[in-house]
Structures are given as C-alpha cells and as structure tokens.
Amino acid sequence: MAEATPPSWAEIPRDLASKVLSLLPTHADRVRFAAVCPQWRAAARQLRLPRPLPVLALPDGTIYSCPDGKPLHFPGLDLAGFKTACGNWLVFLRDEDCFLVDPFAGATVTLPALSHVRPIPPDAVARYVMFGNVAMFYPFATWMHIIEPNKIPGKLYAIDQDENLLVVNISEHPTTGNPQVSQIEQVIKGNPFHTTIHTAVKKKIYLVESCGTLLMVRRKVHCRVEGLGLVAGQNEFEVFKADLEQSLWVNVKTLGDDQMLFLGRPCSRAVSASQYRMSGDQIFFLDDIMENDFEEYTFEEEISSVSAYNMRTGEVSSPLPMVWNHKMITAAWLFPCD
C-alpha cells in the first residue's frame, strides 16, 4: 500500500493563513511567513495588516527586533556607521556621499551632493531638521522636532525647546521649482518647564502623532549632584495633546489602553498595543548620548538598554534584553513599512 502524501503547508485555507499572519508582530516573521509558499505569499500581499513593531538599530550595524530583542540579519548590506534614521530609512555619509538605505526592502537612494546645499543664514542655529528634500534652519530655536505631514494631512508640524507648536508651510520656488519654507506660524505658545545648567532636572521634548492627535511628550531626567557634575537618575514623563482650536496644550494622564509610544530623537511613533498582545499606556525610550544634549549629565553605568515608562504607575522597566554602550550615540528606532 502506497504511503499517503503528507499534507502541504499550501493546503491550509487562506483565511486561516491570514489569521496566523495577523498575529505576527515583527517584520522578520512576516517575511518568513511569505517565504513558505506562493499561497502564503499571496495571502501576505492581500491582507491589510497594521504596521509591524519597530526595530532598534545600533551604529555598529546591529538591528534588534521587538519585542523579543533578537538580532536581525540583512545579508549583503553594510549598515554600520549610519548617522541618523527616519521612518524606515538609515542615513549614511561616506566619502562625502550622502545616501539612504532601507534594510527591509534592500533599497538605496543617493541624495544630491552635499556641495549643492545652500549656505545657512548667519543667525541660524547649528542644528537643522530635514524633511524630504527640505533642510530648515530656524533662528533662535534650540532645535525643532518635525512630524511628517502624512500623519496630520496637509500640515508639517514642528516643536521647539520652549514647547511652541509651529506649522511649517512648504512651497515651490517660482524659478527653480525647489521646495522652500514659505512660512513658519506659531499655533500654540508653550508654557515650558525650564531647566538651567544648575538645575538637577533636565528636559527633553518629543512630538508624536497618535490616532490623529498631536502629542507633546515632556521627559524629565532627574539627576543627582556628584562632585561638579550631574548623574542621571529616574525618568518621568508628562504628555500633552494639542488643542488647535483653543491654541493650548492639554495635559493627559493616559495614552489609552491600546497605545504605545516609541520615542527617539531622530524619529518617534505611536503604535497600537492590543494587536500585538502587548500592554498599552507605555512609553519606550532610548537613553543614549543622542538623548543627552551638550552632555548635561553622565550615566552611572556604561551600558544602556531600551526602557519602558508605565503611564499608570510611573514605573520604569527594561523589558528588552539588548544592551549597548552609551557612547554608541546614534541608536535609533526604525519603522518598517509593512
């Protein structure tokens, strides 16, 4: 009697395969799923999925998945030495060439030669923000944190260190057709929590879109005085939503049971928690040198990790196993597109 042919993975009904796929939170797992067979690959293309969880990129080229903290491998790609990150792109500067790399798609985009960048105004600060082809210097601002216009349709928002919310209007130059900043308008005047060089509480500001609402996240790093310097201690977070009609920031005590924030100086995003069976009302943040402007404080330990702040309890934990040295200054979140 001939042996029965073992069932094939391709025989699993597509609706069942789609349910399995919808439970996979990471980009790597979804890629592996689609590689099983053509039928599963078709299911992956047809199913409208929420974006996968972000991954963490370290400047030595190592990329870790969330929430398991496993290293990901991208054969043929040299990802070490990136300068910053935004969305799903790593930004590199090598031999005076500037280019972007999407490790998930294996795509590379070469940017115009740096010699083509126009000189900055003399009264601009030495920090700048980039969006697409636009680099903007804003006089008298300590820095600006930009949120993409596709998050809040038709608008490009920025926030400065004084917690002022700005709308940046981009237009085309009538002669060259190049994008240019035509207007910067203040829509909310901040009521900032100020720190000084002698203050033992240091402040960081982030701008994030969550469910169509703009959020300002104020991070306080409580430091202790040690000798002539400060040593970083506990982190505390306050969240405010933008009331554009009343032109003010409104303090909120919760992100909601289904929302998590992933904060980083280059790029921050809000992510749904329930679809990945994770707890909401959490803020994941990085504590490396990039988050320590002007080296205002030192760290008690040489190593760092991803930390999570619980909005309900105010407690901070380290839920992910990866660790790195504080001196690896450009650790950043990457957000795969699919």
Residue 83 lies in a domain: no
Q: Are residues 36 and 156 in the same domain?
A: no
Element (H, E) at 114: none
Q: What is the pLDDT of residue 100?
A: 92
Q: Are residues 310 and 202 in the same domain?
A: yes
Q: What is the pLDDT of residue 295?
A: 66
Q: Which residue has the tokens 């399995």?
A: 20
Strand-pair partners of 32: none
CA distance 323 to 126: 31
Residue 2 lies in a domain: no
Residue 295 lies in a domain: yes
CATH number, domain at 23? 1.20.1280
Q: What is the pLDDT of residue 326?
A: 58
Residue 116 lies in a domain: no
CA distances in angstroms from 273 to 60, 122, 173, 284, listed in the order given: 29, 45, 42, 12
Residue 130 lies in a domain: no
Q: What is the pLDDT of residue 139?
A: 43
Residue 192, domain extent: 144-323
Residue 90 lies in a domain: no
| Total structural domains within the chain | 2
pTM recorded for the entire structure: 0.76
Residue 65 lies in a domain: no
Q: What is the pLDDT of residue 125?
A: 36
Stretches in the chain below the pLDDT threshold 50:
1, 120-144
DSSP code of 61? Answer: S
Q: What is the pLDDT of residue 143?
A: 44
Q: Are residues 37 and 152 in the same domain?
A: no
Residue 107 lies in a domain: no
Q: Are residues 188 and 319 in the same domain?
A: yes
Is there a contact between 92 and 80 (Cβ–Cβ < 8 Å)? no
CA distance 221 to 1: 73
Q: What is the pLDDT of residue 283?
A: 96
